[in-house]
Chain A
Amino acid sequence: MAIETAEPATPALGSFAVATAAARRRERILYIVAAIVLAVLIVIPLSSLDAVQAAGLPLVMDRYWFRVTTLIAMFVIIAGAWNIIGGLTGYPAFGNVVFFGIGAYTAGTLITRASLPYATAVVGAVVVCAAVACVIGLPLLRLRGHYFAVASLGVAVATGEVINNVQFFGGASGIFMPIIRSDLLFYYLMLGGAVLTVGTTWLVLHSRFGFGLIAIREDEVAAGVIGVNTTRYKVAAYMLSAALTGLAGAIYAQWNVFIDQSTAFNLDVSIDSILMVLIGGIGTIFGPVIGAAALEFLIQTFAGSGELAVWTQIGLGVLLTAAVIFLPRGIVDFFGGRSSFTREYVRRTLRETGV
């Protein structure tokens, strides 16, 4: 491991690991690649505009690809949001989908009952999610390990069930919204949300707030004793995570036009997002992005119906089991220069975690 002796300027707080020169060079590459990909993602969809079509340019993105890329962007938001509370703060909330549901239902209700414009409804949903996170976060974040994970799972299941039984929220039949037909709108909304999430993660990691969260993750008692207000920081991280997840939910609600308990409070959303962060690289900036893109692409291409979908789920299960055993730090960990995927790494990991 090259021991870095040269004076590092102010090392990017994001790379909370061995600040070797190689690692920082790789990180710069990651940033550049990300910028290029973003530029491409912004330009390509424009090819579907009527004016552009009239000019005879090829249709690069058809409806199917719009759907897949928008879903991927949605999961970048959800996974990135989970990463803030699970990856950075070390509190793996297994029921973060509750905010996806609350965001969706709040937007849906504001639009259908209060007939607010879509934009206001989205903002309203985000605010409600943050407020709810603050209320349930204070008691919930006093729990640790298994207990926090399952308690947050419990809150998700219970909330879904309660909303399903309340007529004001459309009861079991869910909520129908006036249709807005525009693939481009929802694509750019989700993409914007994804950029916002990655940007937020970057900001958090480069601020006192991020420093405090990682200190809490590493050792909460030590963090408290050096002056980190652990309760306030944990709740703030939970609210931020909830707000972003709620944003995804609110956009999804109008995009999907119809929401009910099974679509808005589907636990698979929570678990898939955790798997994405784990495979992509927990606690990193681009981990959730890579994980979401890879996994959602896999799910969508094999989603199919009938047997194929079932086999996909089995494949997902095998992938998850293998990832947990062989790949605990995730893909970005290797590109981030922290370690290379060698047999030695796998053997050492197994030795450390196995019996």
Chain B
Amino acid sequence: MAELIVLGLLLGGVYVAVGLGFSLVWGILNIVNLAYGALVMIAGYITWILSVRYGLDPFLSIPVNLVVMFAIGYAVQYVAINRIVRAPFLYTFLITFGLDLIVVNALLLLFKADFRSVNTFYSGASLAVGPLVVPYVRLWSLAVAMALAAVMWLILNRTRTGDAIQAVGADKDAARLVGISLRHVYALTFGIGAACAGVAGPLIVTYQAITPSAGGPYTLQAFVVVILGGLGRVSATVVGGMLFGLIEVLAQAVPGVGAGYTNAIAFAVLVAVLLLRPRGLLGRLA
């Protein structure tokens, strides 16, 4: 049992990393980004190129990913999504799906459809703690995810930019009246969200091969993390991610349910929580 819990927490780490960017964009801009998984894949491919061509370790490529993904996120919001950000939610939903189509197929053109993975000297290594065998990669991923959550918390709560983002999330008109430019802060927020995908990408590529269209499940998982944890607070996403990791691992351990049911479990949890507590367990679902 202990092993399952540890595995669940490790898996939860990735889900936290995946959930953070998605939750920020949804909470502040009220945009559910269907292309979020595709952004994670872009980061995955950046990590792959850096590793194959320049031998850069995935974890060391995170800073590069952060910058590149932030720039992509900022540009996409500033140019496209800002145009319809006040439209009914169906349109913000569909525009992100349009972006997903563009990104996935652009990656297909560049990298073809075959699986890419990054293996490092420590990929196989794992830490043995009693009966427990814990791959190093997963441990570091958990550490990076927690670091990302901490950094995100600091940005949102301890910086002038963070105040501006939270102000925009609280009341857009009042934010404009104190001199905050919505166009800029929207793009900034989406940029930070994409930067989080820039961290999740390298983490994922260390233990899983990627293809251009492999991003879909991560979007759905991010959604479940937000539903479980709720919106509005970084801590909500951390709890949501961990909980989801645990639920998935424990559910798969039930006899008769195999790995084939990962998405089905995710969605059984999603629909159940939505019906019982649409507000999410912790945060407010604006």
Contact = CB atoms under 8 A, between A and B. Distances in A.
User: Do chains A and B directly touch (beta carbons under 8 Å) in the complex?
Assistant: yes
Interface of A: 86, 92, 94, 139-140, 142-143, 145-147, 149-151, 153-155, 157-158, 161-162, 164-165, 271, 274-275, 278, 307, 310-311, 313-314, 316-321, 324-325, 328, 350, 352-355
B44 to A, nearest CB: 19
B270 interface: yes
Contacts of A278: 94
Contacts of A321: 80, 95, 98-99, 102
Contacts of A149: 32, 89-90, 93
B98 A318 contact: yes
B263 interface: yes
A143 B278 contact: yes
A166 to B, nearest CB: 11
A165 B275 CA distance: 26
A328 B91 CA distance: 8
A106 to B, nearest CB: 19
Interface stretch (B47-55, B105-113, B201-209, B237-245): B105-113
Contact of B83 (A92, A271, A314, A353): A353
A164 B270 CA distance: 20
Interface residues of B, number: 46
Contact of A354 (B85, B90, B100, B258): B85
Contact of B93 (A146, A154, A157): A146
B271 interface: yes
A164 B263 CA distance: 12
A328 B87 contact: yes
A143 B90 contact: no
B89 A313 contact: no
Contacts of B104: 313
A353 B91 contact: yes
Nearest to A163: B264
A353 B270 contact: no
Interface in B51-98: 80, 82-87, 89-91, 93-95, 97-98
A274 B95 CA distance: 12
A320 B98 contact: yes
A128 to B, nearest CB: 20
B260 interface: yes
Contacts of A94: 93
A154 B94 contact: no
A355 B26 CA distance: 17
B91 A165 contact: no
B271 A155 contact: yes
B90 A92 contact: yes
Nearest to A139: B275
A317 B102 contact: yes
B274 interface: yes
Given A314-B102, A353-B85, 14 more contacts: A147-B227, A147-B285, A149-B89, A150-B32, A165-B258, A278-B94, A317-B102, A317-B105, A321-B80, A324-B84, A324-B94, A325-B95, A352-B87, A354-B84
Nearest to B223: A150
Contacts of B284: none
B37 to A, nearest CB: 12
Given A147-B274, A151-B271, A155-B271, A162 B94 contact: no
A143 B285 CA distance: 13
A353 B87 contact: yes
A325 B270 contact: no
Contacts of A354: 82-86
B267 interface: yes
Given A145-B89, A354-B83, A314 B106 contact: yes
A353 B93 contact: no
Contacts of B90: 86, 92, 149
B167 interface: no
A5 to B, nearest CB: 33
Interface in B152-191: 182-183, 186
A158 B80 contact: no
Taking each of A140, A164, A317, A320, which has the highest tally of chain B beta carbons within 10 Å of its own beta carbon? A317
A314 B84 contact: no
Contacts of B26: 146
B267 A320 contact: no
B263 A142 contact: no
Contact of B86 (A86, A139, A352): A352
Given A320-B98, A328-B87, A310 B274 contact: no
Taking each of B87, B95, B108, B271, which has the highest tally of chain A beta carbons within 10 Å of its own beta carbon? B271
Contacts of A352: 86-87
B80 A325 contact: yes
B270 A150 contact: yes
A311 to B, nearest CB: 8
A146 B95 contact: no
A319 B258 CA distance: 40
A296 to B, nearest CB: 16
Nearest to B176: A355
Nearest to B92: A324
Nearest to B285: A147
Taking each of A274, A324, A354, which has the highest tally of chain B beta carbons within 10 Å of its own beta carbon? A324
B98 A317 contact: yes
Contact of A158 (B91, B98, B264): B264
